[in-house]
Amino acid sequence: MQLKAYAKVNLGLKIIGKRADGYHNIQSIFLPIDFYDSIKLALCSAGVEFTSNLPPYGRDNLCVKSAELFFAETHIKSGIKIGLEKHIWIGAGLGGGSSCAAQILLGMNELFDYPLKQEELLALGLKIGSDVPFFIRGVPALVEGRGEIITPLPHLPKPIWVALVYPNFPISTEWAYSKIGNYLTKEKWDFKILEQCFKMGDIRELACTLHNDFELVVFEKYPELKQIKEKLLDLGALGASVSGSGSCIYGIFEKIDNLELLFPQYKVRIVSSP
């Protein structure tokens, strides 16, 4: 079985506050984009055999954790070979690890003749990571709570062009959340406006309304990220933002020409939404 684990960008991200369980409640629109890791699955006699072109290897990889959790949940006595070819940048805020974990659960569920219903897969995915349930559903969605409250949204009336700029270093999501409490009272904004723009399919207004609370944290520590955002806007982006907690900065464009040449020191990829 061959699988594609697609990345996402956050069209806005609002931190509501810290929960009693240590997680944070959020509001965000997750949009799948045409940028993916490739996964091959094959049956074997026992255990989880895993290979990857990039670290982490072994049991530290979410692919392995997902496979082991699936076997533990279903009590299936078999084995799985996983071959991962990563393309999505690590620590970029694009959800690559969570997307791979979701595809492992979905792929194994199919290989073993659907022992788990979707709600069971979603609950299993949440044990692996907050973003995994979204990737199990795999459609544009309003994501709330710690990631477990997912409201599917209509597809945009036409695909949008997104320029991704990766500054060649990751940002730890755990670090970003540990710092966010110091910034939450500094700026108030209404997420509902952004949500309505998406539902109406108003790409221009949506792009102008983008806001991500993590920008206050990451721009202070990494000022070059703010410079990338400003350059994307100068180059004609309708809007630009950090995805997730970074480090990737993206811009929404109506037309993109040779943008890769304008950021020679960084990794750049031009993608579209579904």
The single residue of 8, 14, 86, 229 carrying the catalytic annotation is 8
Say how far apart CA 227 and CA 219 lie, in whole Å: 9
Say how far apart CA 234 and CA 260 lie, in whole Å: 15
Based on the residue annotation, tell me whether 37 is a catalytic residue of this protein: no
The single residue of 37, 65, 86, 131 carrying the catalytic annotation is 131
Local structure of 42: helix, strand or coil: strand
Say how far apart CA 244 and CA 229 lie, in whole Å: 14
Given the structure tokens 């940002």, which residue do they identify?
A: 171
Based on the residue annotation, tell me whether 8 is a catalytic residue of this protein: yes
How many other C-beta atoms are found inside a 10 Å radius of the C-beta of residue 16?
14
With contact defined as beta carbons under 8 Å apart, do 82 and 49 qualify? yes
* Closest to 134 in 3D by CA, of 150, 123, 117, 118: 150
Q: Which residues are catalytic?
A: 8, 131
